């Protein structure tokens, strides 16, 4: 009795796994790309709520600052190649420009520029490990301040 040709059925999973491998390779595609994650947090003394989306940072914020309320206003994430500048809009017509710079190993170097209209609030160059995080705070927002959570992967 003739059997069904197994090649067609065997080929489908093989191609499926190839596609999975291709997709899995995307994040590590390279070391040349840096995923910059910027969260804008409104810190104030209005209320005592702490946004659960802040994850493990909630405890850190409480132990570092004297504010009673932390609320995530916005969060943006962008993958940037080395030398490519990504612009992140921030509350109150502020913006942040991030440019990954050449780095070695699992290090990431980021050139950060935060501006408010034509005013340059901050220009800095950060060196951090992939998965690392830094906070930039201080710009006033409503009755509190803005704290930016900047992480790079």
Partner 1 sequence: MDCRTALEKIETKGDGLLPREEAAELAGHLAGCPACASEDAAISATGPALRALTGIRAMEMAPALDAMWTRVRAGVEEGREARLRPSWIARWAWIPAAVALAVLALLFYPAGTDRSPFHPSTFDVAVEDVESDVATVALVDKGEDLPRVIWIIEDAKT
Q: How far is the CB of 101 from partner 1 (least distance, A)?
A: 9
Residues 97-136 close enough to bind partner 1 by CB under 8 A: 109, 114, 119-136
Nearest in space to 70 (alpha carbons), one of 44, 92, 95, 91: 44
Whether the CB-CB separation of 98 and 118 falls below 8 Å is answered with no
Q: How far is the CB of 95 from partner 1 (least distance, A)?
A: 14
Quick check: 23 binds partner 1 (CB under 8 A)? yes
Tell me the CB-side half-sphere exposure of residue 95, using CA atoms within 13 A: 11
Quick check: 39 binds partner 1 (CB under 8 A)? yes
Neighbouring residues of 121: CB distance < 8 A, sequence distance ≥ 6: 94, 114, 115, 139
Query: Would you tell me which residues interact with partner 1 (CB under 8 A)?
Result: 1-2, 4-5, 8, 12, 15-16, 19, 22-23, 26-27, 33, 35, 37, 39, 52-57, 60, 63-64, 75-79, 109, 114, 119-140, 145, 149, 151
């Amino acid at each position: 009795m003739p059997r069904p040709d197994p090649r067609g059925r065997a080929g489908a999973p093989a191609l499926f796994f190839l596609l999975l491998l291709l997709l899995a390779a995307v994040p590590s595609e390279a070391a040349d790309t840096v995923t910059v994650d910027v969260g804008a947090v409104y810190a104030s003394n209005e209320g005592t709520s702490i946004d659960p989306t802040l994850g493990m940072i909630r405890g850190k914020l409480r132990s570092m600052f004297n504010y009673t309320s932390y609320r995530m206003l916005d969060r943006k994430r962008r993958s940037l190649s080395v030398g490519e500048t990504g612009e992140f809009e921030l509350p109150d017509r502020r913006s942040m420009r991030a440019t990954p710079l050449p780095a070695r190993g699992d290090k990431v170097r980021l050139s950060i520029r935060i501006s408010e209209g034509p005013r340059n609030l901050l220009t800095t160059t950060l060196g951090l490990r992939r998965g690392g995080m830094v906070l930039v705070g201080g710009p006033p927002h409503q009755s509190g301040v803005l704290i930016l959570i900047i992480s790079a992967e």
